[in-house]
Amino acid sequence: MNPVALVPVYNHASTVGGVIEALHRLELPVILIDDGSDAECAAVLDTLAGAQAPATSLLRLPVNSGKGTAVIAGLREAHARGYSHALQLDADGQHDTESLPVFLAAMRDTPQAVIAGFPRFDDNVPTSRFLGRYATHIWVWINTLSRRIRDSMCGLRIYPLTATLPVLDAMPRQSRMEFDSEILVRLDWANIPIRNLPISVCYPPGGVSHFRLCSDNVRISWMHTRLFFGMLCRLPKLLGRHFSGQR
């Protein structure tokens, strides 16, 4: 077991330091992926990347290309460096990092599985975001013919890299917010176990979100449409799993 933390960052100068500090307390090496941040955030990342114990490195993308592109770059980099698992964690500080040891324990207990967070929201969650997630939940349940994935949009998960990279290589390129959902559906299609764990999520007033209401919803809708037709092609296999009790 040789895990690394991946933190995709785009202009989270005020919160990323706290996220990295929490990861360091767990003695996890960290790969920061700078997705074309502005000068202020880039300077913060340069400083954080100087940490030696545990090792913190910086992978810098030349222009902002979206969360999906950043995570994919981080997964490939982690695999190339010989890590066995990648803990993906958003840089916005919304996830309860005190729960990370539970996720790491689950990784050690079931190393072949994806460990996927599902959120427990605080009272500040925007109603539109909360309701919008359920539209994606329903589509994911349809496209897997199951409820094996509790939440496909949570920004905290652990990927087993040996199992994930072949699935990643075979999927269409997804550059932005739709990536998190699509990769979980395709991992489920590949019969990679998915273990769901709760994680407390807070939406502090004034928090930074890069979700673009119109363009990202269009991308997500198109992604679900493609996955639906992919599900139809896999229907016999998925029905077999359903009736064998893998629900």
pLDDT single digits (tens) 146-188: 999 999 999 899 999 999 999 999 988 767 778 999 999 999 9
Distance CA 141, CA 109 (A): 26
Lowest mean pLDDT segment, chosen from 11-20, 93-102, 122-131: 122-131
Which helix (H) or strand (E) covers residue 199, if one does?
A: strand 194-201
What is the average pLDDT across 53-60? 88
Say yes or no to pLDDT of 136 above 90: no
Q: What are phi and psi of 156, to 5 degrees?
A: -130, 120
Span between the terminal Cα atoms of the chain, in Å: 28
pLDDT at 171: 87
The 10s digit of each residue's pLDDT in 14-55 is 999 999 999 999 999 999 999 999 999 999 999 999 766 678
Whether the CB-CB separation of 9 and 35 falls below 8 Å is answered with yes
Lowest average pLDDT, out of 77-91, 100-114, 222-236, goes to 222-236
User: Architecture of 3-243 per CATH?
Assistant: Alpha-Beta Complex (3.90)
* Percent of the chain residues topping a pLDDT of 70: 87
Whole-number Å distance between alpha carbons of 38 and 42? 6
* DSSP H/E element including 183: helix 179-189
Higher pLDDT, 206 or 222: 222
Q: Is the pLDDT of residue 134 over 90?
A: no
